[in-house]
Amino acid sequence: MKELILIILAYLIGSIPSALIISKKFFGVDIRDYGSGNMGATNTFRVLGSKYGTIVMILDILKGAIAVGLYNFLPYYFSSDAELQRTNFMIGLGLAAVVGHIFPIYANFKGGKGVATLFGMILAVQPLVAISCVGVFLIVLYLTRYVSLSSILAALFLPVSVLWIWNEHEVSYRLFALLVAALVILTHQKNIGRILRGVESRVPILKHRDRRKSRRRND
């Protein structure tokens, strides 16, 4: 019963509409009426700029990490004999937060794609894996300025990292990594289509780099 209450609380934490709160408080608009219509960090970057996109990303990451940390309210999971149960419960809490972000009860169940919240969850469950994934994300983002493509490739790297690089033995964690990769690809179908057509929007960062390249081509 206590686990169920914490799972529900994790969902409610994930449902906090960070992007919607920021867009309404500082701009008086509903972020879902602009750009891709998603209530997440990527669309916030695209519509409101890098400053507010970064704020939303950090808040969404915190939702996943805080939700996973709810297991601390149950002393049973502190035991070394409960390592497998603790890992499974942490994953369950994190997934509840991700579901809350995608289908937020506070915003008519119309949210974002959950990538930042997923990262916060992975960061809390397995920091080394999360750091390796964010490395892939940042490299792809620097090269392309596509947050969507960066998220997709980082998500695909997750099972590679879990299954082969870090060689995690927990079956539930392996299945989770595969589920995350599938979920990110599923929620980014439209982005994949736009990338293939060459019409996907780039986030407003590293513009100085593009301007330098443009000047060099024109010289």
Tell me what pLDDT residue 82 has: 81
Average of per-residue pLDDT values in the chain: 88
pLDDT: is 215 or 205 the higher one?
Answer: 205
Tally of domains within the chain: 1
Please tell me the predicted confidence (pLDDT) of residue 6. Answer: 97
Q: What pLDDT score does 204 carry? A: 65
State the pLDDT at residue 163. Answer: 87
Of 40-44, 62-66, 149-153, the poorest mean pLDDT is in: 40-44
* Entry pTM: 0.84
Question: Cα–chain-centroid distance for residue 149?
Answer: 13
CA distance 193 to 27: 30
Mean of the pLDDT values across residues 118-125? 92
Q: Is 166 exposed, middle or buried (0-12, 13-18, 19+ CB in 10 A)?
A: middle
Q: Which domain holds residue 23?
A: 2-218
**Per-residue pLDDT tens over the stretch 132-190:** 999 999 999 889 988 889 999 999 999 999 888 877 777 888 888 998 899 899 888 98
Which of 154, 149, 147 is CA-nearest to residue 203?
A: 147
Average of per-residue pLDDT across 44-71: 92
pLDDT score of 50: 82
Structure tokens at 40: 């997440």
The pLDDT value given to residue 37:
86
